[in-house]
Structure 1
Amino acid sequence: MIGWEDVYKVVVAVVPLYFALLLGYGSLKWWNIFTKEQCEAINKLVCYFTLPLFIFEFTAHIDPFKMNFSFIAADTISKFIIMVVLALWAKCTPKCTFCWSIISFSLCNLTNAVVVGVPMVKPMYGALGVDLVVQSSVLQATIWLPLLLFVMEFWRTGIEGTTTTTVKPRSKTMINKNEGGGGKDVEAVDVKEELMLEESVTSRLPFCKVMKLVWRKLATNPNSYGCVIGISWAFISNRWNLEMPSMLEGSIQIMSKAGTGTAMFSMGIFMALQEKLIACGPSMTLIGLVLKFIAGPAATAIGAIAVGLRGDVLRVVIIQAAVPQSITSFIFAKEYGLHPEVLSTAVIFGMIVSLPVLVAYYAILEFVH
């Protein structure tokens, strides 16, 4: 049973994150230390250096041979359930565009498992809970975050590859010359052409060309390599009992340890650039919280039950799905200009309400037992 001492441990783990966020917010809002151009540079530092090394450092030290494959199957099924629901939503309403589908998927499925999930689940379910949360983080880092990066790059490449040709209307004359008695009518302009409005003709790049551009850009993005190289090293090192050279590991750690802090700092700067603290508005904030704390865990529960998970494993799987929003998803959204205000609000308010929500889930699941 979780007690006040365990709650305090969770608070101790979360407060430093808000300290980094507050420094980022104050550096721009109160102290005017950075310009907008410098803020963009800070975000690129996070996206291209500290975050890839953080992902590599995390994935390189897991043991992929001891993963719970039933849990992996449940997690995969839950993601596909969300995809199907979003596809149906997009088909039934014009409000669901491709970019909103990406954001909704992030809100439902991507969690801040390492920073928040581990300290919250450990006092509830001990080593079992920590082990499953770590596995979910590995899956997210090696499969779902690269997939998110891919679809974001695909979205941006498709937008940038769209060309628009503008057709301008003909000018009106309706002119009649009868000067000197020997005049003659000038060419009459067709009424439909006179009233023709300016219109666009939109042409898109071929799908194959878009895909080629996407893979080319992903090949130059370090985030594409962090998780792949990390999990590759995990397989190799655990198979043949190898250790990473201390000089190399030290070089990686010196930057990777700054990953979470600089990500929160960047989010604080982004908040300071917004006119309102709740950048996306109260209605979108509520929708984001519902997707994060209800839709995501519900889909995960369906997937877990479908593969036969029971007992504490089932409970941990559901609770880890309700862990607050991934900071990495915000960093990617900020880099690609894809509604970062929604994800920043989800991260902030998700972390505020996550403690009572997760404790409530824990109590309900124990009662159901």
Structure 2
Amino acid sequence: MIGWEDVYKVVVAMVPLYVALMLGYGSVKWWRIIPREQCDAINRLVCYFTMPLFTFEFTAHIDPFKMNFLFIGADTISKFIIVLVLVLWAKFSSKGSYGWSITSFSLCTLTNALVVGVPMLKAMYGPTGVDLVVQSSVVQVIWLSLLLFVLEFRRAGIEGATANIIVDDGALKPKATSATIIGSNNNNGFDDVNGGKDLEATSTTTLEIGDVGTRPPFRKLMKLVWIKLAMNPNSYGCVIGISWAFISNRWNLEMPSIVEGSISIMSKTGTGTAMFSMGIFMALQEKVIACGTSMTVFGLVLKFIAGPAAMAISCIAVGLRGDVLKVAIIQAAVPQSITSFIFAKEYGLHPEILSTAVIFGMIVSLPVLIAYYAILEFIH
């Protein structure tokens, strides 16, 4: 049963994140320590150095041979359910789009399990809860790698589709006009390219560009994506970490201390620098809630209702019962992954929504998770 001491432990784990957030915010907004033109460089430091090393260190120390594969299967099925729903929504709904589907997937499925999930599940279900939430974090690393692939694919498609834009008398004009794409002020300049369907945006910049048919052929597009992924250290952090976990546990090997020390010195800064970068991003926005109240509520609904609902369906489908079922549902309601914001910022896809989901999600999560725990106690 959860007591005040357990709640205090969760608060102790969460408060340092907000300290890092406020330091990042203040360094730009109040103290002017970091110039605005240098802010993107800090996010790239987190994206390409601290996060890949954090991913490697975390995955390299798990034992893949002792994982609960029924639980992992339920987690995987729940994500496939969400992917299927979002793809159908993007394809057949007039309001659907693939850019928003990517963001919605992040909101529904990606969690901050280590910071919030571990202390909460430990208080609720003891070592069993901790073990399962750590396993879900390992699997999430794989999904983050797949998310990285989708984001690179989107970026490559956008770059190919905009290749024919020319400048004439200071104005952007197309070589041939047949599609209008609404741009974004984020890093990549455009929200999405999918035959003119994805026309939502986070800004009001409208550019006439060349026919979407001028995008590179699929084979060439995939080649560009794989080249980008090959140059992205986040791709290696997951693959090498899990590979080492299998090898080390199969043959009882230990990582050389000089290698482990070199990795941990940067990886330990991962969560802190990510929150610091988020604080910087907040400082650059006109409002603290950059995405508005309605989108904040939408993100919280996806995070705390849609995600756990999909997990409940998949758990029942595979036959999970008892505490494992309860842990699976509650860990799906753990607040938003910080890494999802870092990727959103780097690839220019709704970072204002992901940052708001992280910041307010952690505040809301404590009463929500306790409510889930109380409700699930009636299930035997």
TM-score in terms of structure 2 length = 0.87
Report how far residue 97 of structure 1 moved.
1.3
Q: How does 1:57-68 map to 2 (within 5 A)?
A: 57-68=57-68
Q: 1:27 to 1:368 in 2, by over 3 A?
A: same
Residue 328 of structure 2: which of 302, 309, 317 is its match? 317
Counterpart for residue 144 of structure 1: 143
Kindly state the Cα deviation for residue 75 of structure 1 after the two structures are TM-superposed.
Answer: 0.7
1:159-186 deviation per Cα after TM superposition (whole angstroms, max 9, x unaligned): 0110444459xxxxxxxxxxxxxxxxxx
Q: Name the structure 2 match of 1:9.
A: 9
Counterpart AA for 1:86: L
* CA deviation profile, 1:52-90 (whole Å, cap 9, x unmatched): 000101000000000001011101110111011112211
**How does 1:86-235 map onto structure 2 within 5 Å?**
86-141=86-141, 143-162=142-161, 163-164=163-164, 165-166=174-175, 201-202=211-212, 203-235=214-246
Q: Secondary structure at the match of 1:129?
A: helix
Q: Separation in 2 of the partners of 1:331 and 1:82?
A: 22
In structure 1, the partner of 2:310 is: 299
Secondary structure, in 3 states, of the residue corresponding to 2:145? helix
Equivalent residue number for residue 359 of structure 1: 370
Give the drift of 1:37.
2.3
1:346 to 346, 352, 357: 357
After TM superposition, give the deviation of residue 199 of structure 1 in Å: 9.0
CA RMSD of aligned residues (A): 1.3
Q: State the shift of 1:116 in Å.
A: 1.3
2:346 aligns to what? 335
Residues 1:81 and 1:275: Cα distance change in structure 2 (over 3 Å):
same
Task: Give the fraction of aligned pairs with identical amino acids, expressed as a percent.
Answer: 79
User: What residue identity is the alignment partner of 2:264?
Assistant: Q
Alpha-carbon distance in 2 for matches of 1:16, 1:94: 42
Flag the 1:364–1:30 CA change in 2: closer, same or farther, 3 A.
same
Counting only pairs closer than 5 Å after superposition, residues 37-76 of structure 1 correspond to structure 2 as 37-76=37-76
Query: Structure 1: any 5+ residue segments left out of the alignment?
Result: 169-197
Separation (CA, whole Å) in 2 of partners of 1:319 and 1:343: 20
Q: Deviations over 1:329-363 (max 9, x none)?
A: 10001000011001000001100100000000000
Residue identity in the other structure for 1:291: L
Q: Distance in 1 between matches of 2:129 and 2:81?
A: 24
- Deviation, 1:91, is 2.6
Q: What is the match of residue 283 of structure 1? A: 294
Alignment size in residue pairs: 339
> Counterpart of 1:327 in structure 2: which amino acid?
I
Match among 244, 250, 265 for residue 261 of structure 2: 250
Q: Classify the secondary structure of the residue corresponding to 1:345.
A: helix
Distance, in Å, in 2 between the alignment partners of 1:364 and 1:167 is 59
- The AA in structure 2 aligned to 1:305 is I
Q: CA deviation at 1:36?
A: 2.1
Deviation string for 1:203-251 (max 9, x for gaps)?
A: 2111111100000000000000001110111011101111111111111
Q: Deviations over 1:11-61 (max 9, x none)?
A: 001000100001000100101111122111111110011110001010000
- Alignment equivalent of 1:237, drawn from 227, 248, 260: 248
Structure 1 position 265 matched with structure 2 position 276: yes
- Compared CA separation, residues 331 and 200, structure 1 to 2 (3 A): closer
Q: Partners of 1:167 and 1:328 in 2: how far apart?
A: 39
Separation (CA, whole Å) in 1 of partners of 2:143 and 2:374? 29
Shift of 1:113: 0.7
Largest Rg, 1 or 2:
1
SS in 2 for 1:368: coil
Note the C-alpha offset of 1:94: 2.6
Question: Which amino acid letter does the alignment assign opposite residue 310 of structure 1?
Answer: R
Q: TM-score, normalised by structure 1?
A: 0.90
Q: C-alpha separation between the residues in 2 aligned to 1:167 and 1:150?
A: 30
Provide the residue aligned with 1:173 in structure 2: none
Q: d(CA) in 2 for partners of 1:285 and 1:96?
A: 18
Cα distance change, pair 313–284 in 1 and its aligned pair in 2 (3 A):
same
Q: Secondary structure at the match of 1:367?
A: coil
1: CA distance, partners of 2:293 / 2:70 = 38
Q: Displacement, 1:278?
A: 0.6
Q: Indicate the residue corresponding to 2:80 in structure 1.
A: 80
Opposite residue 100 of structure 2, the aligned amino acid is: W
SS in 2 for 1:227: helix
Q: Secondary structure at the match of 2:254?
A: coil
Output the amino acid matched with 1:160.
E
> 2:108, 2:303 within 8 Å by CA — same for their partners in 1?
yes
